[in-house]
Structure 1
Amino acid sequence: MRILYAIGSWGLGHAARSLPVLEALQADGHDLTVISSGRALLMLRRELGDRCEFLDWPHFPHTVGRSAAALYARTAVALPAMLRVMTWERQATRTLLRRRRFDRIVSDNRYGVQDPAVPSFHVTNNVRFLAPGRVAVLEWALEAFNYAWFRGLRRVIVPDTPEDALAGDLAHRLRIFPSRLLAYVGLLSPVRARDTGQDLDVFITISGPEPQRSLLERLVRSQLASIPGKVVVTRGRPEGSDVERVGAVDVHDFLGRKHQEEMMNRARVIIGRPGFSTLTSVAEVERKAVFIPTPGQTEQQYLAAFHHARGAIYAAPQARARLADAIDAAVQRSGLTARVKTAEAVRRVVELIRAG
């Protein structure tokens, strides 16, 4: 089959969790055309090389705010641009389909890349967006917005289990979506658990859109000397390939998936943003974690608080994060685990796409 696979560009998370699915589809003999942009597209090119055709399409802006009021204001300002890009994506998809035949369309955070004439799927952990302050009426409207865009799809693929292992209210306790539209497949992580031994005390993975990526890096660098043991840092910049030695710490511009997998398996504690891709990777390797949510990013703040309250991880607000103390607290927590891991989840996704 010829498959059009579109991937969002908010940080690297959507691209990272798409990689095992893309590779499985390639192994299944399908011809892939991949849409993305920015650092996500750069990472996909590095990982997949010339095995896919790539299209560089713009993505809608990612809004964050330091408070609920700031997020509301910035989202209101950005909303017309978001809708324009989503509408443009839909029109560009139709134009592409007039020129070329595709048998399936899969999208991960690219709302406009779908078409009623081609069996279409959307991968998301955000079946419902959470409103700052958890305003019930607004969250109902946000879920209704998603359903309006997704109701023509064959399935919405949710990288979680029906038992609510990871996503919480983002994908569970829904009020509008019919269950027949949702396929809970399990974890989709770019890394796999390996028996490497845990000879690394702390692995710090920095990620996300600017300027918050740089702010987290500044925080980490300012406290590296206070973290005991063996520490490795990745800056999440796929455009770079340098390794800097800071005291006894190796700071990598970027780690490819295999090296990232190695570090996560070797580490006793992982520090990073609680983006859903990082969350699933920590659950895949079943490690302890310190999560520092992006200020003003409602999803990350919710996920960090949700799993902190469950006793699984330690959540540290960026403004008050003391990494050495947070590591000590995280070691006392249970860590993240998963019932259905990536290998089985990928098999389920490929079967859904193949069945159409």
Structure 2
Amino acid sequence: MLVAPLNWGLGHATRCIPIINALIKANYEPILASDGAALILLQKEFPLLKSYTLPSYNIKYSKSGKNLKFKLLLSIPSVIAAVKKEHKIVAQIIKKEGIVGSISDNRFGVYNSNIPAVYITHQLTVLSGKTTGITSKTHQKIIKNFDECWVPDVENEPNFSRNLGHLKINDLNLKYLGILSRFKSEKCALKYDLLIVLSGPEPQRTLLEEKLLLELKNYKGKVLFVRGTLEKKTILEVSKNIQIKNYLLTETLEKALNESEIIIARSGYSTIMDLAVLGKKAFFIPTPGQFEQEYLAQTLKEKLIAPYSNQNDFSLEKLNEIVNYTGFKKTTSNIDLNHFLLFERK
């Protein structure tokens, strides 16, 4: 089974981890395909699985969130070219490896008419301001190239994706996976007052890292700072109470999350699902200009689950707001692909 997540931050790759584990449990042989950091992460998580490199979409991000839409517009020609090349490479992989089905997490060209193809997304509606109607219809047209669309959320209330993953009227073949996370909640003693988990595209990841490190200079609590990069060089501790790691693989990160009182992170959807499964208290800082993350953060604030701040206005004093919020109520993540007709044994 071919599994191919988009390389846009690490969220698409990390939420494929429980899918890959479920495939293995169901006696499939997953073959991985992606590019950049997403592929490197999956190779580290599953060193025994075969993997292929797909073309990069080369989506450019901006230092100013206000210019993001313009940057994405300029990226369209390169994305189209990459998708066409990706589609041809996927056909070659299918023939070479004897692939019986494909699962794409937001990679547009990972489908083939000779095998069943699944597309994973929580963005049936793609928020983009005044152009939301256009971007949503375009994405839904892409989804129709696939046999099924799996939405990582519950179909009914209460849910986390709200209007993003739920349409009043549609002609898409939708299946709801439920909450999708690689983590499990465990009772353990708290070790960290604050766990910072960075993710997302550059240069915004680095800009937030620099701001947070500056804010933490006078912080007295114990901090674990996970940068969300897959660099090999070791990062030294900036002070005795702050430990910095480039990245943590699933088992180690799961332990650290369970041992932490408060989590600071982007309001990416994969992160939200992880924290929901763990039942943690969090403070979110949406990626500037990313309408989806701003929408999700605002939704969680309205539900009194977690507060948020825009990046420029964030200060450690804002963490005091957390006492007014409930945090996430523990939920479960249990993926059984045998329940999905597309992959039932013939």
Bin of the TM-score, shorter chain as denominator length: over 0.9
Unaligned runs of 5+ in 1: none
Bigger shift: residues 57-66 or 86-95: 57-66
- Indicate the SS of the match to 2:193: strand
Partner of 1:12: 10
Q: CA deviation at 1:148?
A: 1.6
In 1: Cα distance, 2:178 partner to 2:219 partner: 34
Bigger shift: residues 237-246 or 285-294: 237-246
Structure 2 residue corresponding to 1:45, chosen from 43, 46, 50? 43
Q: CA deviation at 1:66?
A: 6.2
The alignment status of 1:224 with 2:216, answered yes or no, reads yes
Partner of 1:83: 80
Partner of 1:273: 266
Q: Is the 8 A contact 1:16 1:277 kept in 2?
A: yes
Could you list the per-position Cα deviations for residues 165-218 of structure 1 after superposition, in whole angstroms to 9, with x for gaps in the alignment? 21122112354444xx11112111122111113342111111111111111110
Could you list the per-position Cα deviations for residues 39-92 of structure 1 after superposition, in whole angstroms to 9, with x for gaps in the alignment? 111111111112x11101123133444667522321221111111112222222
The alignment status of 1:355 with 2:313, answered yes or no, reads no
Q: CA deviation at 1:15?
A: 0.9
- Indicate the SS of the match to 2:160: coil
- Matched residue count: 343
The alignment status of 1:235 with 2:223, answered yes or no, reads no
Partner of 2:117: 120
Partner of 1:36: 34
- Indicate the SS of the match to 1:304: helix
- Indicate the SS of the match to 2:33: strand
The alignment status of 1:191 with 2:183, answered yes or no, reads yes
- Indicate the SS of the match to 1:85: helix
CA RMSD across the alignment: 2.1
Q: CA deviation at 1:116?
A: 2.1
Q: CA deviation at 1:349?
A: 7.2
The alignment status of 1:284 with 2:277, answered yes or no, reads yes
* Change over 3 Å in CA distance of 1:143–1:164 after alignment to 2: farther
The alignment status of 1:171 with 2:161, answered yes or no, reads no
In 2: Cα distance, 1:67 partner to 1:184 partner: 35
* Change over 3 Å in CA distance of 1:256–1:334 after alignment to 2: same
* Counterpart code for 2:255: E
Q: How does 1:1-356 map to 2 (within 5 A)?
A: 3-50=1-48, 52-65=49-62, 70-132=67-129, 135=130, 138-162=131-155, 163-178=157-172, 181-240=173-232, 242=234, 244-247=236-239, 248-323=241-316, 325-337=317-329, 339=331, 341-342=332-333, 344=334, 346-348=335-337, 351-352=340-341, 354-355=343-344
- Indicate the SS of the match to 2:47: helix
* Change over 3 Å in CA distance of 1:259–1:352 after alignment to 2: farther
In 2: Cα distance, 1:351 partner to 1:269 partner: 36
* Change over 3 Å in CA distance of 1:348–1:27 after alignment to 2: closer
Q: Is the 8 A contact 2:26 2:337 kept in 1?
A: no
* Change over 3 Å in CA distance of 1:91–1:69 after alignment to 2: same
> What percent identity do the matched residue pairs reach?
27
* Counterpart code for 1:131: S
* Counterpart code for 1:9: N
Q: CA deviation at 1:24?
A: 2.1
In 1: Cα distance, 2:300 partner to 2:338 partner: 26
Q: Is the 8 A contact 1:204 1:234 kept in 2?
A: yes
Unaligned runs of 5+ in 2: none
Q: CA deviation at 1:100?
A: 4.0
